[in-house]
Amino acid sequence: MNLSFREIDPEDAEMILHWRTSPRVTKFMKTVVDHGVDEQKRWILNCRKRPDFYHWLIQDQGEDIGYISLTDYNPINKTASWGFYVGDDERVRLGGWVPPPFYHFCFTHLGIERLDAEMLYFNTSVIDLHRLHGYSFAPQRDRILNKAGKDFLLVAMSLEKEIFMMGRFARFQADFPTDHWKPELEESIDIADLRFEEVSGTPEQIEILLDLLRKRKHSISHQRIPDPEDHAEFVTNHPYRIWWLVRAEERVIGAAYLSRENALGIQLTTDQPKSYQAVIEKIRSENHPLPAIPSVRPGFLYVNVAPDNRSLYQALLKLGAKQTQSSFRLP
């Protein structure tokens, strides 16, 4: 065994697509791929522009045998998700040796403190492998996935840097080239590029909001992802005073709302403090708080911040916001 990792080129599209659509691999994936080679090539090129994502081919003795990716990379919160598969049917047994050098790379080169993973509940071999490497279950992030019209339980797990680096697998290392990846180049959003689309409960908006919820990096109220039917009912009932999808140059970058209690809620797909700042400034300049009602609502806008959302915290400080309280949930 001599594993190594190389960057992916558009010329690898056909091979990756062949692996990805094979029944053995697709069975354990969260999505079903139904596109062709040309679209796969475009996807590979577009991935190079993403600061939160990168991927590599797994090689054994110089031969391509599989695929591994880093997703939801957040250098501010020092977290990321990841996944891999061995596409070569003759080398599936090498899968157990792939994760340790990748973990070492993430924890020592990317500054990640916690890696998250999701597996379909019947993928017991990977669940057992993760437990061997030091993962803990994260049931608060378990969710139901609808795949090809069927519902499946996704089991969430997390690996802490301290746990892995103290274990016996930390000695495995490898080089992961990143010549085409520039994660530091994520651009903050300019206030002039922002467009707010009021949520009216259309089917498209319901699906977009559910997708944002699934990708949420920081959470206060949601301990689990709601069922699609419950989510649709929630959106249709429109529980907020004003609710928007936030777009930048037609691309959805998040959602925001103002409640009747003058709470401003905001979720963005970026973790740039300046982007949060731009969204808050635009909302604040165009919307005023409702009058105060004693013991019901204050006469000013306020924002609740998840403990791990440092970007939003920094943005609020830049805007001159003052911390008024800290909230704790009792067990």
Supply the CATH number for residue 240's domain.
3.40.630.30
Give the number of other Cβ atoms within 10 Å of residue 176's Cβ: 21
Which of 168, 185, 202 is the C-terminal boundary of a domain? Answer: 185
Quick: pLDDT tens for 62-117.
999 999 999 988 887 789 999 999 999 999 999 999 999 999 999 999 989 999 99
Q: Is the pLDDT of residue 191 over 80?
A: no
Kind of pairing, strands 54-60 and 63-74?
Answer: antiparallel
pTM comes to: 0.61
Angle, in degrees to the nearest 10, between helices 310-318 and 273-286: 50
DSSP 218-231: --SS-SSPPPHHHH
In angstroms, rounded to a whole number, what is the distance separating the alpha carbons of residues 85 and 21?
A: 12
Which of 135, 168, 185 is the C-terminal boundary of a domain? Answer: 185
Closest alpha carbon to 17 in 39, 2, 48, 1: 39
* Same-domain pairing of 279 and 313: yes
Range of the domain at 168: 3-185
pLDDT value of residue 32: 84
* Same-domain pairing of 56 and 152: yes
**Residue 173 in domain:** yes
Domain count, the chain: 2
Quick: pLDDT tens for 265-276.
999 987 778 889
* Same-domain pairing of 175 and 229: no
* Same-domain pairing of 129 and 29: yes
**Residue 326 in domain:** no
* Same-domain pairing of 165 and 284: no
Which of 185, 201, 236 is the C-terminal boundary of a domain? Answer: 185
* Same-domain pairing of 7 and 33: yes
* Same-domain pairing of 85 and 230: no
Query: Residue 85 pairs with which residues in a beta bridge?
Result: 67
Backbone angles phi, psi at 36, to 5 degrees: -100, -175
* Same-domain pairing of 217 and 285: yes
Closest alpha carbon to 164 in 105, 76, 123: 105
**Residue 329 in domain:** no
* Same-domain pairing of 163 and 270: no
Label each residue of 27-84 as H, E or C.
CCCCCCCCCCHHHHHHHHHHHCCCCCCEEEEEEECCEEEEEEEEEEEECCCCEEEEEE
